[in-house]
Structure 1
Amino acid sequence: MNNIHVRIFGNGPNLVLLHGWGMHSSIWTSVHERLAQYFCLHLIDLPGHGFSSSVQTDTLDKLEAITEAIAKILPADSIVCGWSLGGQVAIELALRESQRVKKLILVSTTPHFVQCKDWLLGMEFSVLELFTRNLKLDYKNTLDKFLVLQAKGSGNTRKVLRQLRASVLRETESNIVGLQAGLQILLSTDLRKKIKYIHQPVILVHGENDFIVNLGAAQWMHEQLQDSVLISLSCCGHAPFLSHPDDFIASVMRTIQV
């Protein structure tokens, strides 16, 4: 049985927060207390991250497996906010659970992480593949290089990097397995053909200086989506909720102000 760890607190509409690769739900610490004044927060650890157990190893590399696990605990009438990898899970949830997902917030999200001939807005395949290979060889330094990339481009890079390091997964065998599987999802997932089928209102929040996910990916989704608002933040990297908490909270508040 796969156990998904979730913390629930606050009052108001259901707001589900999904973290990114290599992290756990405490990454939202800088904003969750303020958000809990307006929302009932559901802080979820993705499978293989934090306190959530991994799904079967042979299925963990599939985005659908993670989505299915999260769907089992998804509350009704949810606003789902996903960051990076969590954003890809949020997209799948919106398509799979359209009756329960009422609105989406996609933070620093791309439909396709990997660069290819018809998608120049992604990371080079060799870069992600190198992260995968190096995780077992040098877990700490490999993960830290990824954190540095996430913090890069923010006006307060050192502060953001400290916050990221505080929420990174510690080195254990199960975490290595989970992170390698997560990287396989980033390498293999391509949601571009599905984006146009999302009917829920979507808010896209993206840093103009994001070194992990090109702002152009958010702009592309904005053009494809039926109902979306794009909020691009200047002097902001891959983690807007850390570097620009006020702007991030204002973006989330738009979901209950319309």
Structure 2
Amino acid sequence: MQNDLILLHGWGMNKSVWQLCEKELSNEYNGAIYSLNLPGFGGAAVPDKEYSLASAVQQLAKQINDNSTIVAWSLGGLFALYLAKYYPKKVSKVVLVSSSPCFVEQDEWEGVSGQVLDKFKDQLVQDSNKTIDRFLAIQAMGSEHAKEDIKALRALLKLQPVASKQALSVGLELLQKQDLRTLFSRLSIPMYGVFGCLDTLVPKRVCARMSELNPDFSYKMIEKASHAPFISHRDEFISYLKSIL
């Protein structure tokens, strides 16, 4: 019997983004497949204590069985790595989808400008819906069918309740301030990645850096994909996922 397959979404999104992939994977994957809402997203409760990566992962861990494979997109990747470190019995394998242990550019590390995330934080206070729309546009930037990708994500997003403002705010803080590179380098479980060559949020050079940090990490680069390869290049994404499961 195969282990559970857990699907985690990214910032501003909810578990519905995995709906199409879930259907296709269920035809061939013998284990249970669960897409989960991160705390505060899609109607999920926020942590009782102060919302942090630690408290959010503690809440998430209660929904995950031992020895699960975690497939995590974007912000969800930070949750997956933290889960693998502090709840090791829960995680047998991690697949990062357009995700990085450190999203903000640093010395010799490519990523998003901290100023860009500052602008999003300011905009979030004024209008959360417009902020999410702008974030969707950045995620699809460079994709050969960007308009269709944004439309698909927006439609899936509407299938669940809107995210809480607290979760949106803390999520941006996590993207801006979390640096899990040391944690990532010390994990000894199998880790994989799927990335888009045109991604502006997780630039392609980051993938090679990640392989240098951890020799157990291997990845696939999808040439014409941006930040949401499981939407824009679903067949290629599913095919790769099946090969490593």
TM normalised by structure 2 equals 0.92
2:47 aligned partner: 55
Contact 2:13–2:41 (CA<8 Å) still a contact in 1?
A: yes
* Residue type of the alignment partner of 2:40: G
Question: After superposition, where does 1:155-170 map in structure 2 within 5 Å?
Answer: 155-168=144-157
Query: Is 2:186 the counterpart of 1:200?
Result: no
Shift of 1:140: 2.2
For 2:67 and 2:161, locate their aligned partners in 1 and report how far apart those are by CA, in whole Å.
Answer: 36
Query: Structure 1: where are the runs of 5+ without partners?
Result: 1-10
For 1:42 and 1:171, locate their aligned partners in 2 and report how far apart those are by CA, in whole Å.
Answer: 18
2:129 aligned partner: 140
1:213 aligned partner: 202
Q: Deviations over 1:3-23 (max 9, x none)?
A: xxxxxxxx8431000000000
2:18 aligned partner: 28
Query: Structure 2: where are the runs of 5+ without partners?
Result: none
1:109 aligned partner: 99
Residue 166 of structure 1: SS of its match in structure 2? Answer: helix
Question: After superposition, where does 1:13-92 map in structure 2 within 5 Å?
Answer: 13-37=3-27, 38=29, 39-56=31-48, 59-60=50-51, 62-92=52-82
For 2:240 and 2:63, locate their aligned partners in 1 and report how far apart those are by CA, in whole Å.
Answer: 25
Residue 34 of structure 2: SS of its match in structure 1? Answer: strand
Query: Is 2:191 the counterpart of 1:191?
Result: no
Shift of 1:145: 0.9
Contact 1:30–1:241 (CA<8 Å) still a contact in 2?
A: no
Residue 171 of structure 2: SS of its match in structure 1? Answer: helix
CA spacing shift, 1:207–1:244, aligned 2, 3 Å: same
Contact 1:198–1:226 (CA<8 Å) still a contact in 2?
A: no
* Residue type of the alignment partner of 1:251: Y
TM normalised by structure 1 equals 0.88
Contact 1:47–1:55 (CA<8 Å) still a contact in 2?
A: yes
